[in-house]
Amino acid sequence: MVNGFSAEGLNKVSEVLDGYVERGDVAGAVAMIYRHGKLVQVDAVGHRDRAAGLPMRRDTIFRIASMTKPITAVAALTLVDEGLIGLHDPVDAWLPELADRQVMRDPDGSPEDVVPAERPITLEDLLTYRFGLGWGRSSLAPRLFALTADPIASAIGVADAERLAPDEWLRAVGELPLIGQPGSLWRYHTASDILGILISRITGRPLETVLRERILDPLGMSDTGFVVPESKRDRLSVLYGPDSTELDRPATTAWGEQPLFPSGGAGLVSTVDDYARFAHMLLGGGALNGVRILSAELVEALRTDYLTPEQHAVSPFNPPLGQGIWDDQGFGYGVRIQTGPGAGIPAVGTLSWPGGLGTAWYADPENDLVALLFVQSANIIIAAEWRSPLGDDFLTGVYSALEG
């Protein structure tokens, strides 16, 4: 037994990953399992560059897409810890573009049929994705999707994406009415990009600088950032699309230079080791190896489900995507929380949120377990559910191997 895991069960996890590579379902994968802060197993299988025959390695760099969101949320919460903004403070003072909102009577109706917002947008509205705009069901969905920032927009195939700097982007968002009253409905993604701008305006510093000073450097996340420097380019995985098409290569990567708009929702790259440190910090109540990032009180707030019964009952997405997303899950501050037993995997209280280019992480406080699975395949995850059964098979294997 290895830290409560059966050796046989861990071998089966490795066999599952090997099988997906051997069948050609993915080019490669890196998986990591921790228990009680100790590394239990790491698998690096297949290739980071199939054509060149370069093997996947533990230190391979991945485009983590929406796994950026929890990091941005924690950065915003550090400002709360410092008293620079309160959770329930209106954001109008820093984001005047979002002041004095108008709200559509019907999210699927006319943007011209509006009523005044009942209250201002608060920081907590942004942290919980309930400020009134975002990806998902509404007549404004195509417009909001077109505002996806590069390089993620190119990676996921947003054909009509607009290239805007942060201030221009927020002005464009501010021209839109909300599709619901602040706090009334959950919609995806847009709030995290706004949080990135809010963080920068409150601190007067670029978002990446704030992330590096407050989270990345203190945790030793040296391979996480918005840019892959030339010196690390050989460790970046190729990004694959359908039928193994190559969407982004290390030599010509769109992540090779500073983005026009550093996306707090989807812009970062990272490694399994780096993100494991972030996950362990959350399991540790905001601290890791004696370094405190966030107060224990705010970590507890982060891992609280804020969705109302009505919000749990309604899918934010059009069928068939994510129709049961909130059946046994809730949403805190930038993270998903397992709220019900479901199939028992993962355990109740587990924190997670995947990346749409093939990355996922799980921090389970009940079992003091961290598990990560990184592949680099665009849209292998859709609407927070694995398009391929790979992620489910990995998690099932991890929990089946857990014996004590």
Please report how many Cα atoms fall inside a 13 Å half-sphere around the Cα of residue 201, on the Cβ side. Answer: 17
Supply 237's token pair. Answer: 């995985």
Q: Is 377 a catalytic residue?
A: no
Residue among 188, 183, 230, 201 nearest 92 (CA)? 201
**Under 8 Å CB-to-CB from 139, ≥6 apart: which residues?**
104, 107, 108, 109, 110, 111, 179
Question: Are the C-beta atoms of 161 and 263 separated by less than 8 Å?
Answer: no
Residue among 29, 34, 35 nearest 14 (CA)? 29
Supply 116's token pair. Answer: 């005044």
Distances (CA, A) of 403 to 73, 90, 204, 397: 34, 48, 49, 12
Which listed residue (14, 66, 295, 377) is catalytic? 66
Task: With H, G, I as helix, E, B as strand and everything else as coil, classify residue 11.
Answer: helix
Strands (E) located in 23-118: 28-35, 38-49, 54-55, 62-63, 102-104, 114-116
In sequence order, the β-bridge partners of residue 372 are 32, 361
Distances (CA, A) of 394 to 70, 138, 331: 22, 34, 23
Q: Helical H runs in 212-265?
A: 217-219
- Amino acid identity at 214: R
DSSP code of residue 271: -
Q: In angstroms, rounded to a whole number, what is the distance separating the alpha carbons of residues 403 and 201?
A: 48
> From its phi and psi, is residue 314 left (phi > 0), alpha (psi between -120 and 50) or beta?
beta
Task: With H, G, I as helix, E, B as strand and everything else as coil, classify residue 49.
Answer: strand
DSSP code of residue 310: H
Supply 362's token pair. Answer: 């799980």
Which residues are annotated as catalytic? 66
